[in-house]
């Protein structure tokens, strides 16, 4: 069963997250569950989401050691389906979103799921 799209492809928040993700090795964008998902090859590292009370959210895989601290911040929550696997959601609909911090969370998420060859390629990119 195909899910209806729940995002406008030109949504500025999705575009901003996409712009952060696109340069990662073996980046792929796939629509799944009606939402944009950003992948390291076939592995998810960011899922864009929305709900009635949070119009723009990003689901990502944090460093397990940082997860408890992130959950003390009201912007973060345990998302359905992904939460039991250690993933968190972040509300991006606040006006003062710190996009550098979002980029750091995305980088950590990528590193949590990426294959060794993808990590080597990423490290090579960062050395240039």
pLDDT tens per residue across all 128 residues of the chain? 577 676 777 889 999 999 999 999 999 999 988 889 999 999 999 999 866 567 789 999 999 999 999 999 999 999 988 999 999 999 998 778 999 999 999 999 999 999 999 999 999 887 66
Q: Which CATH class is domain 12-127?
A: alpha beta
Contacts of 36 (CB under 8 A, 6+ apart): 7, 9, 14, 18, 29, 30, 47, 48
For residue 104, CA distances in Å to 6, 7, 17, 62, 98 come to 26, 24, 12, 10, 10
Note the pTM of the prediction, 2 decimals: 0.91
Sign (positive or negative) of CA dihedral 36, 51, 107, 82:
negative
Task: Give the C-alpha separation, 124 to 96, whole Å.
Answer: 32
């Amino acid at each position: 069963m195909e899910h209806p799209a729940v995002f406008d492809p030109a949504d500025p928040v999705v575009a901003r997250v996409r712009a952060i993700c696109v340069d990662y090795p073996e980046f792929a964008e796939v629509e799944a569950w009606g939402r944009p998902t950003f992948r390291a090859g076939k592995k998810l590292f960011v899922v864009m989401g929305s709900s009635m009370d949070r119009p723009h959210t990003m689901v990502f895989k944090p460093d397990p050691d940082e997860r408890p601290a992130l959950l003390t911040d009201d912007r973060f929550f345990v998302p359905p389906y992904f939460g039991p696997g250690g993933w968190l959601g972040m509300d991006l609909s606040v006006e003062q979103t710190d996009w550098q911090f979002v980029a750091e969370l995305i980088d950590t998420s990528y590193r949590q799921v990426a294959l060794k060859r993808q990590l080597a390629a990423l490290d090579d990119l960062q050395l240039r």
